[in-house]
Chains A and B, each alone.
Chain A
Amino acid sequence: MGILNERDRASVTEELGKLAGPVKLIVFSQALGSEYCIETERLVREVAECSDKVAVEIYNLHIDREKAAAYGVDRVPAVVVEGARDYGIRFFGIPMGYEFTNLIDGMLVASSGEPRLSPETLERLKGLTEPLHIQVFSTPT
């Protein structure tokens, strides 16, 4: 039994048909004791099965420390959505429910590298000189 049912798979396959280029889902997990990590790995693999443009890499936070540091990941489960490069899209916790929609949307925007933002927003970002770390908290439902 998968996490995604047949109908979910059909709709994910349709959505991922819009991918503009390859996307990598990089999962940081840990071997023991975390149901959330196991579920996240399963979910990400099932999503990847819906498109040949999606690749999956799985790392262990405690073993693959250099990778974790390179991606700025310090807790699990974490999913990095990478397109042509790492744009800074992260999910912490299993991306289910409401977050699942955001995972798919994150994959689409990472695949194109073209954010859907107003011209005014893009103009304002040009003035940015310092790093911004945006953390958005949500719940599954």
Chain B
Amino acid sequence: MRLAHHLAVASDLIRGDCIEATEFPDLAQRYMVMAVPKTVVNERVSFEGAVPEAEFVDAVLRAVNGTGADR
């Protein structure tokens, strides 16, 4: 979560939402949140778990680099 907010500060093009899954079951269901943290980017890329910064940025940028397949 920390990374999403720091990225948001770093770029005007980025917004970082921290969502409490149990309070928004509709969203948790829509994005198939089975484990947390789960990160969803532009509704195209998603990944589970806390990952190191470089890996997080790789995954996030995949959402706009045209290879937005989930892993």
Q: Which A residues are closer than 8 A to B by beta carbons?
A: 36, 72, 75, 81, 83, 87-95, 99, 102, 105-106, 109-110, 113-118, 120-122, 124-125, 128-140
Contacts and interface: CB of A to CB of B under 8 A. Distances in A.
Contact of B7 (A91, A131, A134): A134
Interface of B: 1-24, 27-28, 31, 33, 36-43, 53-54, 57, 60-61, 63-64
A124 B57 CA distance: 9
Given A91-B18, A130-B64, A102 B5 contact: yes
A75 B25 CA distance: 12
Contacts of A115: 6-7, 9-10
Given A102-B5, A110-B9, A130-B64, A137 B15 contact: no
A131 B51 CA distance: 22
**Chief secondary structure at chain A's binding surface:** mixed
Contacts of A75: 24
Given A92-B20, A106-B5, A128-B64, A137 B14 contact: no
Nearest to A130: B64
27 contacts: A88-B14, A89-B16, A91-B18, A99-B18, A99-B20, A102-B5, A102-B18, A105-B2, A105-B5, A110-B9, A113-B9, A117-B7, A121-B7, A121-B57, A129-B13, A130-B13, A132-B14, A133-B42, A134-B14, A134-B17, A135-B17, A135-B27, A135-B41, A137-B31, A137-B36, A138-B19, A138-B20
